[in-house]
Amino acid sequence: MKHLGIDYGSKRIGLALSDDNGRLAFPKETINNSQDIIQDIKDVVEYESVEKIVVGKSLDPWGSENLIQREIDTFIKKLKYDISEIDIVYQDERGSSIAAASHLYGKDNIANPKWTTKANMKKREHNDANAAAVILQRYLDKQKNQT
């Protein structure tokens, strides 16, 4: 079963896809959160034959919903209305952006402040698809452990 992972943000949304067997998650792309976002995601779902959508649930460190979660809930309602045939589930996203960026912080890697070229700054800037892959992989691992 193929899954789509979503890391929702007010400005950008990260997307990730699983393999056809629903075992491994891979970053797909980061797209702008615009008026066309529902159609953009619907296009990905159709083109990639997605059977389930996993959306990061935004919680504070203590497990309570934070302010952006209200936006995410509204987004999910619209998504469910337009893509009613696909299951949409939440996965705790706490720490996903940090986990997605952690590989950037090694010795002499692009997150090093000394490495300030435009190309490296751009790589650091859009980490949303990687965060979506972390969220999706956590969900896939949880499902695997439940069987």
Whole-angstrom distance between the N-terminal and C-terminal Cα of the chain?
A: 15
Can you tell me the distance from the alpha carbon of 68 to that of 88, in angstroms, rounded to the nearest whole number? 18
1-20 pLDDT per residue, tens: 999 999 998 999 999 999 99
pLDDT bucket at 50, cuts 50 / 70 / 90: very high
Give SS3 for 3. strand
Looking at the chain, list the stretches that DSSP marks H as alpha helix, in order from N- to C-terminal side. 37-48, 68-82, 96-101, 118-125, 128-146
pLDDT bucket at 59, cuts 50 / 70 / 90: confident
In the numeric block, which tokens belong to residue 120?
Answer: 């490296």
Asked if 126 and 12 count as a contact pair (C-beta separation under 8 A), the reply is: yes
Asked if 30 and 14 count as a contact pair (C-beta separation under 8 A), the reply is: yes
Domain residue ranges of the chain, discontinuous segments joined by +: 3-146
Arithmetic mean of pLDDT, 40-47: 96
Nearest to 140 by CA among 44, 20, 48: 20
Arithmetic mean of pLDDT, 64-81: 91
pLDDT bucket at 66, cuts 50 / 70 / 90: confident
Record the pTM: 0.81
CATH of 3-146, one of 3.30.470.20, 3.10.129.10, 3.30.450.20, 3.30.420.140: 3.30.420.140
